[in-house]
């Protein structure tokens, strides 16, 4: 049996929670004050995911960079893989919010989309 | 002189929401004046997600959140001017503005909405000894350099202050290849959201040192390192706890100050606790027809609440213009107008027992809505306590809160019915009761 400790992000209370696990299976969650805490803990220890936001270069635009994000959350462990994949990507103006900048980033099956309009110069 | 019904100073989240709401409430000629090259304000550089959960029930990035309001402004045909700096506003609501194209010019407004936002507390406000080397940035400046200009301000970074912008920048700099050594916080608790501590620091193994501060900055031309020390409960560094950190960059995330130079020029009275204007239930300042909303009024934790507050200010400004000014031209008239003459009672809201301030701080019962939102912040972390509201000694609200922290804005709703037979100049106290 494995024990993990994590801090809940649900509210400023910041409950310190203990999770007991057997392989991938969650045996128990303790230390939480509400059900939000337990839900967060179960997800966080079995399948932690994050939305990744960064910027990429824009060619021929009114701005140097365009902000982008993963269209949905990706596994936490793939954050830096995602950033590496975007390192040399260049968007071409005009860019519209929601435009796909890179498909299937770092093998996650998730696209990178623009989060701001950038007009052509 | 050009004339507008409502002129809004600032095209950030507060100005945009105020404009949309004023138009929806029937105001005709509205003008937004913005000094930057685009609308959206600080949201343009906040490329991280987490905005809009309350307003749109989804998580948006800053630019996406701004775009929702900008497109409404465009659709409603609301006029705005970019690259325009407001230099002065006088008591008669004559606005002096300046731009490259138009030079210096004046606009007569019937109502003014102050939505200038806030700025970051600089190094000069902190009394850290040392030279003035390059490499010391406010977290927001670094955010602009990285996210808008595509420049990395440094490679080895220490962050002082654990406000949300500092935490967000710890993650951002790490993602861009910098090494963030430590985040130091003077207080025994963080000023940022729990979620940001976990997702911006813990995710990347960046240590957070509470009750610590920077006591020395080394380097003459460029930052070469800093000295960190633990502080006692009074915030005084404890000898013998010094630690040296090698770094080329120090980011400061040590608080925000509402930007009220213009408000002072008009003659608006400021609250020394918030550094923002004192306002009543209509978010109107003590200069008639001048309203305030967003971070210029008090620093908010979430932009959703800025939008909500600004919408109220916009609606009230439209009502002011419509009901009380269309009938009669009051320009040049010095005495109080009938709108203000009408108010019989004015109830002062008195923050006590842990409540630092309230917005609004005055309620005119005859002008309030059925429910009135009051926002405030507490002075320290409280567990298992109650928010109490008393009016003339009678307890009207007793709400349990499992936890309250200075970093999060609190809100309560006052009911119009409570004020039914309230005497003139009554006092309402809002306090925290510990269990």
Where does the pLDDT of residue B325 fall: very low under 50, low under 70, confident under 90, or very high at 90 and above?
Answer: low
Query: What pLDDT shows up at residue B331?
Result: 43
Q: A29 and A68: one domain?
A: no
Q: A26 and A59: one domain?
A: no
Where does the pLDDT of residue B423 fall: very low under 50, low under 70, confident under 90, or very high at 90 and above?
Answer: confident
Whether the pLDDT of residue B332 is over 50: the answer is no
Q: Does A9 sit within 8 Å of B199, measured CB to CB? A: yes
Q: A62 and A110: one domain?
A: yes
Of A2, A57, A115, residue with least CA distance to B150: A57
Where does the pLDDT of residue B344 fall: very low under 50, low under 70, confident under 90, or very high at 90 and above?
Answer: low
Edge-to-edge strands, sheet with B362-363: B362-363, B347-351, B427-434, B382-391, B394-404
Q: How far is Cα B56 from Cα B308, in angstroms, rounded to an integer?
A: 12
Percentage of chain B lying above the pLDDT 70 cut = 95
Cis omega before residue B133 (within 30°)? no
From A29, A47, A65, give the residue that closes a domain: A47
A65 located within any domain: yes
Of B180, B181, B200, residue with least CA distance to B190: B200
Minimal Cβ distance to B61: which of A7, A13, A69: A69
Q: A67 and A110: one domain?
A: yes
Query: What pLDDT shows up at residue B108?
Result: 97
Whether the pLDDT of residue B191 is over 90: the answer is no
Where does the pLDDT of residue B192 fall: very low under 50, low under 70, confident under 90, or very high at 90 and above?
Answer: confident
Q: A74 and A98: one domain?
A: yes
Query: What pLDDT shows up at residue A10?
Result: 79
Q: A57 and A109: one domain?
A: yes
Q: What is the mean pLDDT of the segment spanning B354-377?
A: 94
Cβ atoms of residues B358 and B273 within 8 Å: no
Mean pLDDT of the residues in chain A:
93
Cβ atoms of residues A85 and A102 within 8 Å: yes
Cβ atoms of residues B254 and B128 within 8 Å: no
CATH number at residue A72: 3.10.530.10
Q: What is the mean pLDDT of the segment spanning B153-179?
A: 96
pLDDT digits (tens, 9 = 90+) for B133-149: 999 999 999 999 999 99
A120 located within any domain: no
Domain that holds residue A38: 2-47
Of B162, B364, B378, B170, residue with least CA distance to B282: B364
Q: What is the mean pLDDT of the segment spanning B186-200?
A: 89
Query: What pLDDT shows up at residue B305?
Result: 95
**Per-position b or e across B79-116, b if 16+ CB within 10 A of its CB:** ebbeebebeebeeebebebeeeeeeeeebebbbbbbbb
Minimal Cβ distance to B402: which of A6, A8, A13: A13
Q: A20 and A65: one domain?
A: no
Q: What is the mean pLDDT of the segment spanning B370-395?
A: 94
Whether the pLDDT of residue B356 is over 70: the answer is yes
Where does the pLDDT of residue B326 fall: very low under 50, low under 70, confident under 90, or very high at 90 and above?
Answer: low
Query: What pLDDT shows up at residue B20?
Result: 98
Whether the pLDDT of residue B240 is over 90: the answer is yes
Mean pLDDT of the residues in chain B:
93
Q: Which residues of chain A have pLDDT under 50?
A: none
Whether the pLDDT of residue B129 is over 50: the answer is yes
A121 located within any domain: no
Of B130, B113, B110, B141, residue with least CA distance to B32: B113
Nearest chain A Cα to B60, which residue?
Answer: A115
Q: Closest approach of chain B CAs to the CA of A114, in angstroms?
A: 9
Where does the pLDDT of residue B308 fall: very low under 50, low under 70, confident under 90, or very high at 90 and above?
Answer: very high
Whether the pLDDT of residue B114 is over 50: the answer is yes
Sequence-separated (6 or more) residues with CB below 8 Å from residue B245:
B158, B181, B182, B225, B226, B227, B228
Q: What is the mean pLDDT of the segment spanning B403-428?
A: 90
Q: A37 and A62: one domain?
A: no
- Is any Cβ of chain B less than 8 angstroms from the Cβ of A79? yes
- Is any Cβ of chain B less than 8 angstroms from the Cβ of A67? yes
Residues from B in contact with A at Cβ < 8 Å: 44, 47-49, 59-61, 63-64, 67, 146-150, 175-176, 193-195, 197-199, 202-203, 381, 383, 402-405, 407-408
Query: What pLDDT shows up at residue B169?
Result: 98
Q: Does B48 sit within 8 Å of A54, measured CB to CB? A: no
Chain B residues within an 8 Å CB radius of A17: none
Q: A13 and A42: one domain?
A: yes
Q: Closest approach of chain A CAs to the CA of B65, in angstroms?
A: 9
Query: Domain total for chain A?
Result: 2
Whether the pLDDT of residue B390 is over 70: the answer is yes
Query: What pLDDT shows up at residue A1?
Result: 84
Whether the pLDDT of residue B393 is over 60: the answer is yes
Where does the pLDDT of residue B327 fall: very low under 50, low under 70, confident under 90, or very high at 90 and above?
Answer: low
- Is any Cβ of chain B less than 8 angstroms from the Cβ of A73? no
Query: What pLDDT shows up at residue B338?
Result: 45
Where does the pLDDT of residue B387 fall: very low under 50, low under 70, confident under 90, or very high at 90 and above?
Answer: very high
Higher-confidence residue: B68 or B406? B68
Query: What pLDDT shows up at residue B125?
Result: 82
Q: A36 and A87: one domain?
A: no
Q: Does B44 sit within 8 Å of A57, measured CB to CB? A: no
Percentage of chain B lying above the pLDDT 90 cut = 82
Q: A57 and A102: one domain?
A: yes
In degrees and rounded to multiples of 5, residue B171 shows phi and psi of -70, -45
Whether the pLDDT of residue B323 is over 90: the answer is no
Integer CA distances (angstroms), B136 to B124, B128, B231, B257, B372, in order:
11, 12, 22, 19, 43
Q: A40 and A59: one domain?
A: no
A119 located within any domain: no
Query: What pLDDT shows up at residue A15?
Result: 87
pTM, full prediction: 0.93
Cβ atoms of residues B126 and B23 within 8 Å: no
A30 located within any domain: yes
Which domains does chain B show, CATH number per domain? 1-120+255-342 (3.50.50.60), 122-254 (3.50.50.60), 343-435 (2.60.40)
Count of pairs with CB atoms under 8 A, one residue in A, one in B: 79
A84 located within any domain: yes
């Amino acid at each position: 049996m494995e024990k993990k400790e994590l801090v809940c992000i649900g509210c400023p209370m910041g409950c310190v929670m203990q999770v007991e696990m057997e392989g991938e299976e969650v045996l128990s969650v303790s230390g939480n004050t509400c059900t939000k805490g337990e839900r967060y803990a179960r997800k966080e220890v079995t399948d932690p995911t994050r939305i990744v936001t960064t910027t990429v270069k824009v060619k021929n635009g009114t701005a140097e960079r365009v902000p982008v994000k993963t269209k949905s959350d990706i596994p936490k462990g793939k954050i830096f893989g995602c950033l590496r994949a975007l390192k040399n990507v260049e968007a071409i103006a005009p860019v519209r919010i929601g435009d796909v900048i890179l498909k299937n980033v770092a093998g996650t099956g998730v696209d990178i989309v623009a989060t701001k309009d950038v007009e052509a110069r | 002189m050009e004339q507008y019904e409502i002129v809004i100073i600032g095209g950030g989240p507060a100005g945009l929401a105020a404009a949309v709401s004023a138009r929806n409430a029937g105001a005709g000629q509205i003008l937004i004046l913005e000094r930057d090259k685009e609308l959206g304000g600080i949201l343009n550089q906040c490329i991280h997600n987490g905005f809009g959960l309350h307003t749109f029930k989804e998580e948006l990035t800053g630019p996406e959140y701004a775009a929702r309001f900008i497109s409404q402004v465009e659709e409603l045909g609301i006029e705005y001017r970019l690259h325009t700096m407001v230099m002065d506003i006088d008591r008669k609501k004559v606005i002096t503005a300046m731009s490259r194209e138009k030079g210096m010019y004046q606009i007569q407004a019937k109502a003014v909405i102050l939505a200038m936002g806030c700025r970051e507390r600089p190094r000069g406000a902190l009394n850290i000894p040392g030279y003035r080397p390059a490499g010391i940035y406010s977290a927001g400046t670094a955010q602009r350099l990285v996210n808008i200009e595509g420049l990395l301000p440094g490679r080895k970074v220490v962050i002082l202050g654990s406000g949300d912008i500092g935490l967000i920048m710890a993650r951002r700099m790490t993602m861009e290849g910098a090494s963030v050594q430590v985040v130091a916080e003077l207080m025994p608790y963080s000023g940022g959201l729990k979620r940001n501590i976990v997702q911006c620091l813990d995710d990347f193994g960046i240590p957070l040192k509470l009750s610590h501060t920077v006591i020395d900055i080394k380097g003459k031309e460029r930052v070469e390192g800093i000295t960190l020390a633990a502080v006692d409960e009074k915030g005084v560094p404890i000898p013998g706890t010094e630690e040296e950190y090698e770094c080329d960059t120090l980011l400061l995330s040590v608080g925000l100050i509402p930007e009220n130079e213009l408000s002072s020029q008009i003659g608006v009275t400021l609250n020394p606790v918030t550094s923002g204007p004192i306002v009543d239930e209509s978010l109107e300042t003590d200069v008639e027809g001048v309203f305030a909303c967003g971070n210029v009024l008090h620093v908010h934790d979430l932009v959703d609440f800025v939008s909500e507050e600004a919408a109220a200010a916009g609606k009230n400004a439209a009502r002011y213009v419509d009901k009380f000014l269309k009938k009669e031209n009051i320009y040049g008239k010095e005495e109080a107008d009938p709108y203000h003459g009408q108010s019989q009672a004015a109830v002062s809201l008195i923050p006590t027992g842990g409540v630092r301030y309230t917005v609004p701080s005055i309620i005119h019962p005859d002008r309030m809505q059925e429910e009135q939102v009051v926002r405030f912040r507490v002075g320290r972390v409280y567990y298992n306590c109650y928010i109490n509201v008393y009016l003339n000694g009678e307890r009207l609200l007793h709400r349990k809160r499992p936890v309250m922290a200075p970093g999060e804005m609190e809100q309560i709703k006052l009911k119009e019915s409570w004020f039914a037979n309230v005497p003139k100049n009554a006092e309402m106290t809002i306090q925290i009761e510990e269990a």
